């Protein structure tokens, strides 16, 4: 025990007399915390960008980055921001001639999702099916879709009438 304390005193004799002050300055907690935060900040630049960050950067560089507009419309629809999603879809539909085939297919999917998610879109779908079924009244699937859209919109009386018409065409359906 005594031997180890002698060794410690010899080691301390090599240090300057104000070693406590130097150690206190070197291991200053605010300094260490700021050093760690600076390291994490620099480390942040080495990680790969997420899909959202890539599309946002593309959109900031070029307003006609259609892949970014498509992705933004998808995100807005998933967050139930229907008015903003409608603006994005309208922008893309104006520039349909500039879209690739893959982007056009993606736009169709997004438009369908918008129609199925909003009252305005469901009303448009109902009108389309009603006009189609006036020309082709024996189309069973059309009556089925019309019934589903009417029920989703809350038009239960109209949905019952559509079901009745469906059963007239095919009683076992």
Q: Exposed, middle or buried, 72 (CB in 10 Å: 0-12/13-18/19+)?
A: buried
pLDDT, one tens digit per residue, over 123-154 is: 988 999 999 999 999 999 999 999 999 998 89
CA triple 90-92-93, angle to 5 deg: 65
Boundaries of every domain in the chain:
51-117, 119-169
Average predicted confidence (pLDDT) for the chain? 84
pLDDT, one tens digit per residue, over 2-20 is: 676 677 666 666 666 666 6
Would you state the structure tokens that stand for residue 99, as one six-digit string?
A: 């879209």
Instruction: Confirm whether pTM is higher than 0.85.
Output: no
Question: Per this entry, what is the length of the chain?
Answer: 173
């Amino acid at each position: 025990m005594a031997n180890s304390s002698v060794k410690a005193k010899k080691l301390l004799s090599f240090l300057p007399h104000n070693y406590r002050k130097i150690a206190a300055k070197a291991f200053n907690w605010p300094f260490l915390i700021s050093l760690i935060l600076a390291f994490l900040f620099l480390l942040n630049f080495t990680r790969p960008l997420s899909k959202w960050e890539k599309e946002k950067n593309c959109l900031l560089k070029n307003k006609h980055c259609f892949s970014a507009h498509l992705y933004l419309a998808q995100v807005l629809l998933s967050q139930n921001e229907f008015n903003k999603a409608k603006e994005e879809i309208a922008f893309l539909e104006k520039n349909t001639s500039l879209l690739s085939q893959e982007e056009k297919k993606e736009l169709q999917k997004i438009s369908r999702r918008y129609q199925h998610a909003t009252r305005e879109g469901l009303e448009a779908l109902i009108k389309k099916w009603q006009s189609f079924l006036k020309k082709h009244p024996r189309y069973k699937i059309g009556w089925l879709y019309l019934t589903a859209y009417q029920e989703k919109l809350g038009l239960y009386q109209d949905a019952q009438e559509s079901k009745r018409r469906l059963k007239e065409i095919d009683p076992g359906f």
